[in-house]
Amino acid sequence: MNTTVDPHTLTGAYALGALPEHEAAQFARHLARCPACDLEVRELQETAARLALAVAEVPPAGLRTRVLAALPEVRQLPPVPHRATVVPLRPRARPRLPYLAAAACLAVAVAAGGLTVRAQHEADQQRDRSTRAEQQSAALSALMAAPDATFHTTALKGGGSGTVVVSEQQGRTAFVYHGLPKLPEARVYQLWYSREGGMVPAGLVETGRAGGAMLLTGTPRGAVGVGVTAEPRGGSSRPTSLPLALVPV
């Protein structure tokens, strides 16, 4: 388990089986001495089971795998910068060689510095992605465990199904989906809040995923439903096609 991550924030990922094997083993040892985390994990696992029962149709065997695929679960190590080896030059009689050696050393130092800066930048980006994934995993787990959480399931036109999970207390909505047909390269699935007779953009489904889970942007307060459409890549400010599904909430 990453020593820089507070183990108390990993209950959701552990309950959903989203931790790598070695981190799951370390977290299991943490559970043995942390009754609060142990209780929370058991409650989240019960909630996950309740979510499965809320789906009207019998879920396919691969549903769990596809849902977990939406939650990044592998932390990659940052690239290791290569150390440049400077080979000392023998003193020679020609007077310009010391200047050439100094210039070569300077060039190597600049190149090594560039590699280090690039590696640090990539490491920062990876940490940001890991942090966002952990935050979303924790938010999804908390939403599904909310006492006022409601589950609304529907089939989409053209194939696939989705479950909308709403908590007014938390002001959050999640979309759990599976079996979504692959769209043409220039299209993407987009979610909407149906509010006051209009449709408000609420996020894009990650391209290329047939199943997974995501949080909607914005609050569900005042919304009467959640819609799904197929839009041009990058999304639209308003729907350009008829809804594939409109789930009352």
- Give the model confidence (pLDDT) of 159-175 as tens digits: 999 999 999 999 999 99
SS3 238: coil
Task: List helix spans (H) across 62-96.
Answer: 63-69
Mean pLDDT value across residues 65-88: 57
State the average pLDDT for the chain: 77
DSSP classification of residue 88: P
Residue % of the chain over a pLDDT of 90: 33
pLDDT at 141: 84
Q: Kindly report the three-state secondary structure assignment for every residue of the chain.
A: CCCCCCHHHHHHHHHCCCCCHHHHHHHHHHHHCCHHHHHHHHHHHHHHHHHHHHCCCCCCCCHHHHHHHCCCCCCCCCCCCCCCCCCCCCCCCCCCHHHHHHHHHHHHHHHHHHHHHHHHHHHHHHHHHHHHHHHHHHHHHHHHHCCCCEEEEEECCCCCEEEEEEECCCCEEEEEEECCCCCCCCEEEEEEEEECCEEEEEEECCCCCCCEEEECCCCCCCCCEEEEEEEECCCCCCCCCCCCEEEEC
| 124 pLDDT above the threshold of 70 | no
pLDDT at 197: 83
- From residue 101, give the alpha-carbon distance in Å to each of 35, 67, 87, 92, 113: 64, 58, 10, 11, 18
pLDDT at 25: 86
Q: Which span out of 80-94, 134-148, 193-207 was modeled with the highest average pLDDT? A: 193-207
Q: Which span out of 94-103, 206-215, 224-233 was modeled with the highest average pLDDT? A: 224-233
What is the reported pTM?
Answer: 0.51
| 149 pLDDT above the threshold of 50 | yes
Q: If pLDDT is split at 50, 70 and 90, which confidence band does 220 have?
A: very high
What is the layout of strands, in order, in the sheet containing 172-178?
A: 150-155, 161-167, 172-178, 212-215
SS3 112: helix
pLDDT at 13: 77
SS3 66: helix
Q: Over the stretch 2-31, which tens digit does the pLDDT of each residue have?
A: 556 777 788 877 877 777 888 888 888 888
pLDDT at 231: 96
Q: If pLDDT is split at 50, 70 and 90, which confidence band does 209 have?
A: confident
